[in-house]
């Protein structure tokens, strides 16, 4: 029998006004219901926003060090529960155990980091042009933040939105993705136990199509932070800006790794495979395009195919690569495989559903590699969100940059090279918010900015690090003539 979890509104765990729930199933065993969550309605969203608005002023008046203490205590609690959180993440989202454990640890680290940063918030003192005047700034919270998060990093992304929002003195309403909300509610439990005042954090589960309008447009909401697909995020951005909100969106990607003539093919294949097949390709920063110099293409493809075929696919608890999160995601990936074949790409690895008892019932797909891909094919232009890598052969570095930049997205990009000049040119010329040299496209540090360009971001505020706090704060300038 699965458990039934409730919404968290004004410090209470409550059922949705609809009386309905959502069953979340294990993507490795779709017949297994992991848990049931509230299918909230507009009334629940309104109650959550109103509770946040009522609690925000007192929370803003709470000294920063005290706010930080609560965040750090919650982080410690999450640390004690890391194994259980890892198991829940695997059961709901499907990640392989090392990936799931790493994501949980990232959330823990984020709360420790922003818990410490809360004590540094305050403002700056400046010299005045006149005598007997104190001139300084004050950093103050924006107000109420609506946070809408995706299923692919179901604890890390809520953490990197919640922690800076709360550290800066904002109240928040969080709507986690319906496919994997359990670990976000576990974060909520930890904050509640750490002493977060009632109403400062409110969590409602349910479909964005029902809850989104209220969270984005309610008069009491001051800021909206969204992570998800580009099409939905762009609609959220238009809607929120029209309502006068401060908006931050982090969206899709079509991330390239450029492999130059100086690169070692085996090293390059390891980097590309890690970026493209890790997290079952279900990452906005996943590498889906390998743009390879013709001199090393054959050796690179051999190495990449070998790695793809060696990956152990199965339930995330004890296999190297887990399932896709849902039947719909699996179907979408397989459709892209068919499209690529129809457009003339050559399938050299994977492309289907794996065989074996361990993968008989789940949403599993083989790590997939295509060659003979041209940059105008759909598989080279559109986000697949599965473990599919398109190899595009180029004749020189200039062509590689043109191909890499020839998409609507610009989130993460990497280059594999032993030529320092090429590395510096790549940094100068690539159109991406995250640029890596001799590293995979996935994986980011929590204390530096994260975000993209073009359709990968609203290009407003970045997340994480000091810049992550900027979105949730506004400066007041004070002239004190004494």
Tens digit of each residue's pLDDT (9 = 90 or more) over 423-479: 999 999 999 999 999 999 999 999 999 999 999 999 999 999 999 999 999 999 999
Residue 286 · residue 444 · CB < 8 Å: no
380 vs 377: CA distance, rounded Å: 5
Biggest CA-to-CA distance, the chain = 81
| Average pLDDT for 56-65 | 98
Domains of the chain: 3-251+458-481 (3.40.605.10), 255-437 (3.40.309.10)
Confidence of residue 1 (pLDDT cuts 50, 70, 90): very low
| Average pLDDT for 262-271 | 98
pLDDT beyond 60 at 48: yes
The pLDDT value given to residue 2: 63
Percent of the chain with pLDDT over 70: 100
332 vs 223: CA distance, rounded Å: 32
Looking at every residue in the chain, the average pLDDT score rounds to 97
Mention every residue, 6+ apart, whose C-beta is less than 8 A from residue 214. 42, 45, 46, 49
Please tell me the pTM assigned to this model.
0.96
Q: Which two tokens stand for residue 270?
A: 């390891």
The pLDDT value given to residue 41: 98
310 vs 289: CA distance, rounded Å: 20
Q: Which of 191, 284, 340, 416 is catalytic?
A: 284
Exposed, middle or buried: residue 256 (CB in 10 Å: 0-12, 13-18, 19+)? buried
433 vs 439: CA distance, rounded Å: 15
| Average pLDDT for 358-380 | 96
Angstrom CA distances, 300 to 88, 273, 380, stand at 37, 11, 18
106 vs 156: CA distance, rounded Å: 6
287 is catalytic: no
375 vs 45: CA distance, rounded Å: 43
Mention every residue, 6+ apart, whose C-beta is less than 8 A from residue 61. none
| Average pLDDT for 369-389 | 98
- Residue range 217-257, pLDDT digits in tens: 999 999 999 999 999 999 999 999 999 999 999 999 999 99
What sign results for the dihedral spanned by CA atoms 234, 239, 241, 246?
Answer: negative
pLDDT beyond 50 at 326: yes
Residue 371 · residue 215 · CB < 8 Å: no
Q: How many CA atoms lie within 13 A of 475 on its CB side?
A: 9
467 vs 452: CA distance, rounded Å: 14
What pairing do the DSSP bridges indicate for beta strands 368-371 and 388-394?
Answer: parallel
The pLDDT value given to residue 358: 83
| Average pLDDT for 316-333 | 97
- Residue range 106-140, pLDDT digits in tens: 999 999 999 999 999 989 999 999 999 999 999 99
- Residue range 452-468, pLDDT digits in tens: 999 999 999 999 999 99
């Amino acid at each position: 029998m699965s458990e039934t979890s409730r919404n968290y509104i004004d410090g209470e765990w409550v059922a949705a006004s609809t009386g309905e729930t959502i069953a979340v199933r294990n993507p490795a065993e779709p017949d297994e219901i992991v848990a049931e969550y509230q299918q909230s309605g507009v009334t629940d969203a309104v109650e959550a926003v109103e509770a946040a608005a009522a609690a925000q002023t007192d929370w803003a008046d709470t000294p920063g060090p005290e706010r930080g203490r609560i965040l750090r205590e919650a982080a410690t609690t999450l640390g004690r529960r890391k194994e259980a959180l890892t198991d829940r993440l695997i059961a709901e989202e499907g990640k392989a155990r090392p990936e799931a454990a790493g994501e949980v640890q990232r959330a823990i680290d984020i709360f420790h980091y922003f818990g410490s940063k809360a004590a540094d918030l305050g403002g700056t003192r400046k010299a005045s042009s006149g005598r007997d005047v104190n001139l300084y700034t004050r950093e103050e919270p924006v107000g109420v933040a609506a946070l809408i998060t995706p299923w692919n990093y179901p604890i890390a992304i809520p953490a990197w939105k919640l922690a800076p929002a709360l550290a800066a003195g904002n109240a928040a309403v969080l709507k986690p993705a319906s496919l994997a909300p359990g670990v976000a509610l576990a974060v909520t439990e930890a904050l509640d136990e750490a002493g977060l005042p009632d109403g400062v954090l409110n969590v409602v589960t349910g479909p964005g199509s029902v809850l989104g309008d209220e969270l984005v447009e309610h008069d009491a909401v001051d800021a909206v932070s969204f992570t998800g697909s580009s099409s939905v995020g762009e609609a959220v951005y238009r809607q929120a800006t029209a309502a006068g909100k401060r908006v931050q969106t982090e969206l899709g990607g079509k991330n390239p790794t450029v492999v130059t003539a100086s690169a070692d093919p085996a090293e390059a294949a390891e980097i590309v495979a890690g970026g493209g097949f890790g997290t079952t390709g279900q990452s906005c920063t996943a590498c889906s395009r390998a743009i390879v110099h013709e001199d090393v293409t054959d050796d690179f493809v051999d190495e990449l195919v070998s790695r793809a075929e060696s990956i152990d696919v199965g339930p995330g608890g004890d296999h190297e690569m887990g399932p896709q999160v849902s039947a719909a995601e699996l179907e979408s990936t397989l459709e892209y495989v068919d499209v690529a074949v129809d457009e003339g790409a050559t399938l050299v690895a994977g492309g289907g559903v794996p065989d074996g008892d361990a993968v008989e019932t789940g949403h599993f797909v083989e790590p997939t590699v295509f060659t003979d891909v041209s940059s105008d094919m759909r598989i080279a232009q559109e986000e697949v969100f599965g473990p599919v890598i398109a190899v595009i052969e180029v004749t020189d570095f200039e062509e590689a940059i043109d191909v890499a930049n020839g998409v609507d997205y610009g989130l993460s990009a990497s280059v594999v090279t032993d030529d320092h000049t090429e590395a510096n040119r790549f940094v100068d010329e690539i159109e991406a918010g995250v640029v890596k040299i001799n590293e995979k496209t996935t994986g980011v540090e929590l204390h530096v900015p994260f975000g993209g360009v073009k359709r990968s971001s609203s290009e407003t505020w970045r997340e994480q690090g000091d810049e992550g706090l900027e979105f949730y704060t506004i400066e007041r300038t004070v002239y004190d003539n004494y």
